[in-house]
Amino acid sequence: MGYLVWIALVPLFIFIVSGEKYLCLNTLLIGVIFFFVQLSWMRHVTYIAWVLLSLYCSVYFLLFAVCARYVVLKLKWPLTLTAPCLWAALEFIRSFFLSGFPWFFIGHTQYQWLPVIQISDITGVYGISFIIVMVNAGIADLILSCPGLKTIFTIERYRPCLFPNRKLVFTGVVCILPIVTLIATLFYGFYRLKHYVPIDGPKVCLVQGNIPQDLKFESTEADQVAILKKYFDLSKSAKDKSIDLLVWPETMMPGILNINPDLTGRKIDILSQLTAVQLAQDLGANLLIGGIALTLNGEQQIYFNSAYYYNRLGSFVDRYDKIHLVPFGEFTPLKDYFPFLAGLVPYEIGLTHGKNRTLFSLDTAANGRITFGVSICYEDTVPSLMRRFRKDGAEFMLNITNDGWFCNSAELDQHLAIMVFRAVENRISLARAANTGISAFVAPNGTIYDMLVDAQGKSREISGTLTNHARLANKGISIYTRCGDWFGILCAVVSGAILLAAVFNIRLFSMDRQGKHP
């Protein structure tokens, strides 16, 4: 229901300007309710993190409300000029501060509205949020400026005025600026969609085994063998499809592939290594398999969340170790100082950050050698990481994930929606293999052009394989790939300047009611 977002913030904006009592408490409460509901899937893993993360994210609602009200009332500027920058700046800060949580940006609601989101290849997702907030702020400004409503809202102090002929300019800013910006965005979007000509790239088979997380997490050796067999049998179904690459989701290989099994003494490690080799040779395809990697540093054991790459002959080529780990999900920050925090981590062991963005070379039947990269789990929600892979030379990207932690919840849909923006931002095709769903292919223009579904149309908690071509972009890298989050940084800088101007009472381009400079 992404169309509702174009008016959804209007009541909030009116309240920020007109409300006097309990502004901070109420906006904080609005944020808590919003994030508590949206993050409800975290209850399947940890209630404590669910509550704490909801409280943390709601602080951004509070910051926006306080800053927006202060600037509007102090500088006499309309919300149309102040709210978009502030909102986009706070989303940008939330995307990296304290390891970052780039979810639930207001721009993400438009993932199915392709003409709107094409501008992401210039501004990133922050540009979409900026436009949406500007439209909402314009509507709120018009409502607040209606003479008949002054008896309803406490808005005596809200008299935005610009230049001597303030009514005309105010109307222009509030009415024309959002409309012109939106029309320009749509014009650019339709133009890019019209001139997008996809090229069929390598043929990729995504395997979705639908292994319940409780079975995988607390598995016996017999369970691990059964998991391995299920993924092996599903993979064998692709034998006659002439695929270039077979992909297993995150950590779906139960054994450790990078260490001599004699050192571990585990049968599952031997079976896993033999299975990878045999599968590549039987299919005549390259393999990309998610699993755990182990390295030894003296007596210390170091574990990584990794993606292993095998060629068509069954020879191990290289691996990628996940760089952006999930705090309190894959590692415990500050656990040396606060040991009790280790109880929040669902793993018995802590994982270690990878250091290198590994690129793999894929020999294809129709396209020659293609370079691709891999993101693991939530890494496809991190704009800067995906951008660097593209800038390094990746021609398409894979995402391997195990969202089984969150069962049949909205998290699976949210994760896919966010991935769409990584495709548009970098004009690159993405293919995702997910253990419990949603496995899908996304084109460089943001189209979800294939998705694994069963006979009843269900895409979550099902098993099967999905085979299609990764679509290659027919042009060079985007402005966003070259320049990064310049728009988010610009919004942060402008927001800081506006706040400073308000603090020091610098009323740029502002007039009092008599048209004289204050």
Closest by CA position to 440, among listed 208, 124, 198: 208
- The Cα–Cα gap between 121 and 426 comes to 6
Catalytic residue among 91, 250, 379, 425: 250
Q: Are 452 and 439 in contact, with CB atoms under 8 Å apart?
A: yes
Count other Cβ atoms within 10 Å, centred on residue 350.
14
Closest by CA position to 460, among listed 413, 509, 392: 413
Count other Cβ atoms within 10 Å, centred on residue 205.
22
Catalytic residue among 377, 379, 395, 407: 377
- The Cα–Cα gap between 195 and 165 comes to 43
Please indicate whether residue 85 is annotated as part of the active site: no
Q: Are 436 and 412 in contact, with CB atoms under 8 Å apart?
A: yes
Helix (H) / strand (E) element for 23: namely: helix 23-38
Q: Which residue has the tokens 């800081």?
A: 496
- The Cα–Cα gap between 487 and 390 comes to 19
Please indicate whether residue 161 is annotated as part of the active site: no
Please indicate whether residue 322 is annotated as part of the active site: yes
- The Cα–Cα gap between 505 and 211 comes to 60
In sequence order, what are the beta bridge partners of 112? none
Q: Are 104 and 38 in contact, with CB atoms under 8 Å apart?
A: yes
- Per the structure block, which two tokens stand in for 14? 């009116």
- The Cα–Cα gap between 272 and 59 comes to 46
- The Cα–Cα gap between 319 and 306 comes to 7
* Dihedral-angle region of residue 419 (phi above 0 means left; psi in -120 to 50 means alpha; beta otherwise): alpha
In the chain, how many H helices and how many E strands? 18, 12
Count other Cβ atoms within 10 Å, centred on residue 298.
5
Catalytic residue among 76, 205, 322, 379: 322
Per-residue H/E/C for 85-138: HHHHHHHHHHCCHHHCCCCCCHHHHHCCCHHHHCCHHHHCHHHHHHHHHHHHHH
The DSSP annotation for 292-358 comes to EEEEEETTEEEEEEEEEEE-TTS-EEEEEE-SSPPBTTTB-TTTTT-GGGGGG-SSSS---------
- Per the structure block, which two tokens stand in for 171? 């109307």
Q: Would you please indicate which residues are annotated as catalytic (active-site) residues?
A: 250, 322, 377
